[in-house]
């Protein structure tokens, strides 16, 4: 396969012809990275960190090789984009995409096999799902890819490439029929979601780790587990960055130490895979170490100060009722905490409060909890959130 040369690039200048996109690419996976470019373009710098608002461990049971996986699907990534980032899917098609027809078109978000993409290190080396943005400009067609990673075949860093139209047509014609092309349009984003950590039960963690530890094909299992630990580590770094943003940029020592712990797990997994691939014995302790790191997430990310939770719930209620937050503080002007005593409160507002809280805290209240007596006081609403956050999720 002939590698395409970006338009007007000097032979010694490398492939970049435009300024690389600026997102926190080192925190993102290969599908998130280019959704991040889109959302920041529409809604401002670092809006993409909202992708890290909720940290959960909920592996799907049957991933590649029959192994459980935390790798999100394209559908799950698009759902996260529509729920948290202020983007709406306006068109989705499977098959080789055509280049956008003119400069007025929204960019295409394309997900395909990186084996066929000449600007990534995986080109003609490895089949792996990857994304990029495709959009027209005055010089031809621009490809944007914010992926950031080091691979055995070289480094991937955020870039923009401009191709002549006929070159872009040739590039797209080489993509597989399984390629997915999505057009996303901006919409007004909701309030920044409250951070949440949704842990898995001990049985889920044990089953996940044991599936990899006991798999008979050690090379396959360790290659997959290398990707799994990479995804787990990046998800935790993204969540930590979101928390730090809410705290004015501060990140405490416990979080930094935990992220370093995860870096160690990733390195251990890669070493084990490389050893197995060469027919050598894998180093001991990897799966115990990974399981301990997953369990430790709860201690680092799971605690939410009671006062902070009440403040966040009060903020949501105040927004729905269009009143000041101070009005909802017990003791203010005789307020006893019963929301039903406020003129602004009613059944419609009560339902809206429930929906807003479920969205902001990434929870779903049980039908048994959704009775009026539980929905008239801020402290009762906080109790609902704590119960729902502690419950195991139904799906990833």
Average pLDDT over residues 106-132: 96
Residue 103 has pLDDT above 80, yes or no: no
Residue 17 belongs to some domain of the structure: no
37 and 51 fall within a common domain: yes
List the CATH number of the domain containing 88.
Answer: 3.90.70
Whether 195 maps to a domain, the answer reads no
Give the lowest-confidence range in 20-24, 60-64, 184-188, 390-394: 390-394
For 7-17, the pLDDT digits (tens) are 443 333 333 46
The CATH number given to whatever domain includes residue 384 is 1.10.1200.10
Final residue of a structural domain among 253, 275, 301: 301
Quick one: 170 and 66 in the same domain? Answer: yes
pTM for the model stands at: 0.73
Contact 49, 24 (CB under 8 A): yes
Q: Is residue 15 part of a domain?
A: no
Q: Identify the CA nearest to 40 among candidates 25, 55, 30, 29.
A: 25
pLDDT, tens only, 135-175: 988 778 899 999 999 999 999 999 999 998 888 889 999 99
Domain boundary among 257, 279, 301: 301
Task: Provide the strand spans (E) within the chain.
Answer: 54-56, 87-94, 108-113, 129-137, 140-145, 149-151, 154-156, 159-163, 180-186, 196-198
Q: Using the 3D structure, point to which of 301, 323, 342 is the last residue of a domain.
A: 301
pLDDT at 232: 98
Contact at 8 Å (CB) between 4 and 170? Answer: yes
34 and 166 fall within a common domain? yes
Report the number of distinct structural domains present in the chain.
Answer: 3
The reply to whether 310 and 254 lie within a common domain is no
Is 329 inside a domain boundary?
Answer: yes
* Mean pLDDT of all residues in 102-130: 92
Strand pairing partners for 198? 56
First vs last Cα of the chain: how many Å apart?
A: 38
Name the residue range of residue 295's domain: 201-301
């Amino acid at each position: 396969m002939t590698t395409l040369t970006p338009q007007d690039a000097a032979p010694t200048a490398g492939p970049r012809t435009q300024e690389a996109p600026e997102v926190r690419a080192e925190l993102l996976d290969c599908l998130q990275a280019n959704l991040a470019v889109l959302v920041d373009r529409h809604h401002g710098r670092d809006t993409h960190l909202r992708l890290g608002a909720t940290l959960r461990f909920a592996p799907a049971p049957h991933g590649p090789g029959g192994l459980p996986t935390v790798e999100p699907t394209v559908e799950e990534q698009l759902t996260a984009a529509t729920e948290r980032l202020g983007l709406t899917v306006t068109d989705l098609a499977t098959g080789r995409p055509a280049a956008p027809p003119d400069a007025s078109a929204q960019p295409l978000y394309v997900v395909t096999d990186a084996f066929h993409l000449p600007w990534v290190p995986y080109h003609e080396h490895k089949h792996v799902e990857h994304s990029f943005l495709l959009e027209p400009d005055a010089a031809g067609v621009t490809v944007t890819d914010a992926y950031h990673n080091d691979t055995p075949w070289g480094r991937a860093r955020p870039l923009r490439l401009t191709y002549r139209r006929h070159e872009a047509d040739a590039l797209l014609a080489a993509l597989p029929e399984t390629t997915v092309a999505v057009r996303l349009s901006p919409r007004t984003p909701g309030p920044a979601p409250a951070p949440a950590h949704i842990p898995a039960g001990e049985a889920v963690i044990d089953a996940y780790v044991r599936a990899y530890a006991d798999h008979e094909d050690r090379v396959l299992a360790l290659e997959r587990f290398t990707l799994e630990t990479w995804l787990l580590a990046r998800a935790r770094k993204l969540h930590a960055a979101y928390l730090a943003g809410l705290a004015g940029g501060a990140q405490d020592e416990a979080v930094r130490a935990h992220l370093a712990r995860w870096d160690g797990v990733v390195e251990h997994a890669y070493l084990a895979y490389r050893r197995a691939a060469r027919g050598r014995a894998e180093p001991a302790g990897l799966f115990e170490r990974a399981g301990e790191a997953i369990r430790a997430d709860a201690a680092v990310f799971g605690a939410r100060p009671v006062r902070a939770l009440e403040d966040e719930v009060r903020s949501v209620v105040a927004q729905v009722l269009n009143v000041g937050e101070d009005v909802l503080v017990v003791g203010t002007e005789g307020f006893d905490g019963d929301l039903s005593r406020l003129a602004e409160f009613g059944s419609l507002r009560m339902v809206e409060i429930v929906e807003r809280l479920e969205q902001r805290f990434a929870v779903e209240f049980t039908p048994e909890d959704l009775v009026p007596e539980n929905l008239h006081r801020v402290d009762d609403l906080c109790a609902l959130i704590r119960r729902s956050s502690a419950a195991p999720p139904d799906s990833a």
